[in-house]
Amino acid sequence: MAANLLAGGFPLTVHNRRRQREESLSAAGARRAATPAAAASGADLLALCLSDDAAVEEVLLGSDAGSATAALAGLAPGTLVIDFSTIAPASSRRLAAALAERGVAYLDAPVTGGTEGARAGSLSVLVGGAATDLERARPVLEAVGGRIAHFGPVGAGQEAKAVNQVLVAGSYAAVAEAMALGQRLGLPMEEVRQALMGGAAASWALEHRAGAMLRGEFPLGFRLRLHRKDLGIALEAAGASGLGLPVARQVAAMEDALIAAGYGDEDVAALARWFASGPGADGAAPAL
């Protein structure tokens, strides 16, 4: 995403908590900042993309509101923060309120589309916040995304992302289960996969991840443990609204077992590992 901003001609200052990750961007023309505060200093727009609620709060606000190295220390009134992270809607609303006290605006803008979409600049950006702030951010959003959708006030983008992650859970798990069935039946599964891509079963997961499932290879796209975190957000939101999500709960339990077995840093497609030892006819979980 940062590389696409550079390619789009945006002057860019970058900071990563793992500083070596800044090096390729620096070589491409980005300026490096030693702290989040230094990255925010003088910026009109500050974009974040972090792993979870705690990371966003630490980078943006610090351990307390007076943290000298947190981004808040460098943000001037009138700055706009665009948070591409996936966090709880309540966290986005809390952060927006804290920034508003300093005259700083905030959009929650989680993305979906995988590493493929990030590289291609074709992500879907799911936005919550004021329409005027969205228009101000639109050139940046269009540099990283192929589709920008506005769903309402702050927090609405995160709620839309929760819906997305429930769909991801079901589609990945269904593809993993179907690939396992075909392999058990001895079918030529790559040919089966290609044939199914033209029918009603076609999906992003079938197109982009079923091949990896068949090969038993799970390089990143998106970490399993982060998807499990996102499912937790969705399950909490569903519970608060009185809705049960039985499929999402089953996938969450599968992911818990895989994370406990040491696969949390593999791609979500590692759900296929759940079937490696084969649940029995009663659906019992395999030994991982």
Say if residues 41 and 24 touch (Cβ distance below 8 Å): no
Options 93, 150, 161, 193, the catalytic residue: 161
Instruction: Find, among 247, 259, 94, 87, the residue nearest to 177 by Cα.
Output: 247
Report the C-alpha gap between 238 and 223 in whole angstroms: 23
Q: What are 159's two structure tokens?
A: 């709620």
Concerning whether 161 is annotated as a catalytic residue, the answer is yes
The DSSP call for residue 222 is S
Which one-letter amino acid corresponds to residue 156?
A: A
Which residues, listed in sequence order, are joined to residue 123 by a DSSP beta bridge? 145
Say if residues 42 and 71 touch (Cβ distance below 8 Å): no
3-state secondary structure of 76: coil
SS (H, E, C) 47-109: EECCCCHHHHHHHHCCCCCCCCCCHHHHCCCCCEEEECCCCCHHHHHHHHHHHHCCCCEEEEC
Say if residues 257 and 109 touch (Cβ distance below 8 Å): no
Residues serving a catalytic function are 161
